[in-house]
Structure 1
Amino acid sequence: LLNNASKFTSQGSITFGYELHGRELYFYVKDTGCGIPADKANSIFGRFVKLNSFIQGTGLGLSICQTIVEHMGGHIGVESEEGKGSTFWFTIPYQPAGTDNKKEDMHQPISVQKDKLTILIAEDNESNYRLFQSILKRDYNLIHAWDGKEAVNLYKTHHPQIILMDINMPVMDGYEATREIRKLSLDVPIIAVTAFAYASDEQRVMENGFDGYMAKPISAPLLRQQIAALLQKRIILL
């Protein structure tokens, strides 16, 4: 709507904003452009309708806007006077934000001496593990598991304070390994490491016992940042 307003307004102004109208949000784009003839106003949202063939465009923009707004449960329209400008508007349902009912973090903090802080990295690809190693080896003790089953066994033996868990591994994948580790501890932070294909993958990760996730390819600053956040929130360094 703003793009159209700029095309048809050679002087004056373009104003946009929104207002709360009861249970709807009312958005508007008002211009002082050429306006729309009264006999054309009803057809302006039709497909391939162009009032000026010299203006760049396909005539699909307003039709697409109408489709989007109506799929969101709203309405779209225009008020215009030829030579004086137009106001294009649309509404969408207003849903007030609810009270934040997020549960407080009930995890028991893990105490560990700073020089003994250990991270278990479950990763079946050697190159990927080398990358983790290059990022973390100076600050943490590292343990490497080649698959999910080995990760569970190494957790039982070494009780690391943080786990980086690749999702796709042989023998036992990251989801199953995390379920097994959660039977032993609800408090150890576990970060999923995966290449997401869809948003549903991210949702699945967060619903299966993980405390966070890292997407491949791994970003060193983001990995350090996420580990630092876990240390501050969940681990007491002695």
Structure 2
Amino acid sequence: LTDRNRLHQVITNLMTNALKFTDGGAITIGYALQPDNMLEFYVSDTGCGIPEQEQQAIFNRFVKLNRFVQGTGLGLPICQTIVERMGGRIGVESVMGKGSTFRFTVPYRRAERSGKAVPEHDRANVRKDEITILIAEDNPSNYKFLESILKKRYNILHAWDGQAAVELFRTHRPHLVLMDINMPVLDGYGAKEGIRRLSPEVPVIAVTAYAFASDEQKILAAGFDGYIAKPINPSILFGKIRELLAERLHIL
């Protein structure tokens, strides 16, 4: 039980690095449960290898061993920060001319199914071109991004703060709400409560700059129907919106 998005980010970065430095042979990815309740992942390649004296330096910011290879030198330091925040460690084993193996661990905790029944909703009939989404976002660039990817499919309302979001919801009754957690006047948690008092059924998705497991648990425990982490992946966002709307609406 860990942070899916950040775990994916680390594995993807390690695989991208392996592809950059491996001209032939193989790249292998795997995982194993360790005796100390740690889950270890590894990405192994048959590339050029890393000199022993430089194997620790590659986790420092802006360090690049090959200036002709694309990149900023930030990928591995970011991976190290993510892994350590998740409670694990990251390291490398390498032999020049034979390849490298990057390993990292995260704490292993079995996720138990709650057995909680999926709630039944009385689904209203709504035409596809009538579906309206309220975006509560105080950052202009974040709002413009959300508007640009959603406006071709949905009608959009926008609130600059949490209190305005509640009032817009009261007036227009949108079908779904994207709620930034860090909102002025009334934060995302307070705005969600205000909207829930008006409509217990409407799906509210939290939008947050943080996406570690503890943040996810707090958000879901507070009664949000889901969350999206920044930077927002449009395909994940559309998938979550479609899922929640299908539970509440008959889309004509």
Which of the five TM-score ranges fits, normalised by the shorter chain? 0.5 to 0.7
Cα deviation for residue 104 of structure 1 reads: 2.6
Task: Say whether residues 1:161 and 2:175 are aligned partners.
Answer: yes
Q: Equivalents in 1 of 2:143, 2:162: separation in Å?
A: 14
Provide the alpha-carbon RMSD of the alignment: 2.2
Opposite residue 175 of structure 2, the aligned amino acid is Q
Question: Given the alignment, which residue of 116, 122, 125 partners 1:108?
Answer: 122
Q: Quick one: distance in 1 between partners of 2:189 and 2:113?
A: 32
Partner residue, 1:133: 147
Shift of 1:141: 0.2
TM-score (norm 1): 0.57
* Map of 2:206 onto structure 1: 192
Give 1:144 shift.
0.4
2: CA distance between counterparts of 1:101 and 1:194? 27
Residue number in structure 1 paired with 2:235: 221
Shift of 1:232: 2.2
Q: 1:179 aligns with which of 162, 185, 193?
A: 193
Give the letter for the 1:133 counterpart: E
The one-character-per-residue Cα deviations of 1:40-90 (angstroms, maximum 9, x if unpaired) are xxxxxxxxxxxxxxxxxxxxxxxxxxxxxxxxxxxxxxxxxxxxxxxxxxx
1:62 aligns with none
1:152 partnered with 2:144: no
In 2: Cα distance, 1:144 partner to 1:168 partner = 15
CA change 1:199–1:234 in 2 (3 A) is same
Native 8 Å contact 1:107 1:186 kept in 2 = no
Gap change, CA 1:99 and 1:227, over 3 Å in 2: closer
One of 215, 219, 227 as aligned partner of 1:205: 219
Shift in alpha-carbon separation, 1:116–1:199, aligned structure 2, 3 A: same
**Contact kept? 2:211, 2:229, Cα under 8 Å:** no
- Is residue 170 from structure 1 mapped to residue 170 from structure 2 by the alignment? no
CA distance in 2, matches of 1:222, 1:101: 25
For residues 114 and 221 of structure 2, the distance between their equivalents in structure 1, rounded to whole angstroms, comes to 19
8 Å Cα contact 1:110-1:234 kept in structure 2: yes
Q: Equivalent residue for 1:54?
A: none
Confirm or deny: 8 A CA contact 1:109 1:187 kept in the other structure. Answer: no
Gaps of 5+ in 1: 1-16, 19-94
Letter in 2 for 1:201: D
Distance 2:114 2:188 in 1: 31
CA distance in 2, matches of 1:162, 1:197: 21
Shift of the alpha carbon at 1:98?
Answer: 7.7
> How many residue pairs get matched?
145
User: How far apart, CA to CA, are the structure 1 residues paired with 2:113 and 2:150?
Assistant: 39
State TM-score, norm by structure 2. 0.54
Query: Per-residue CA shift, 1:180-235, capped at 9, x if unaligned?
Result: 11111111010000012642221111011210000001111111111111222222
Secondary structure of 1:121's match? Answer: strand
Among the aligned pairs, what percent are the same residue?
Answer: 54
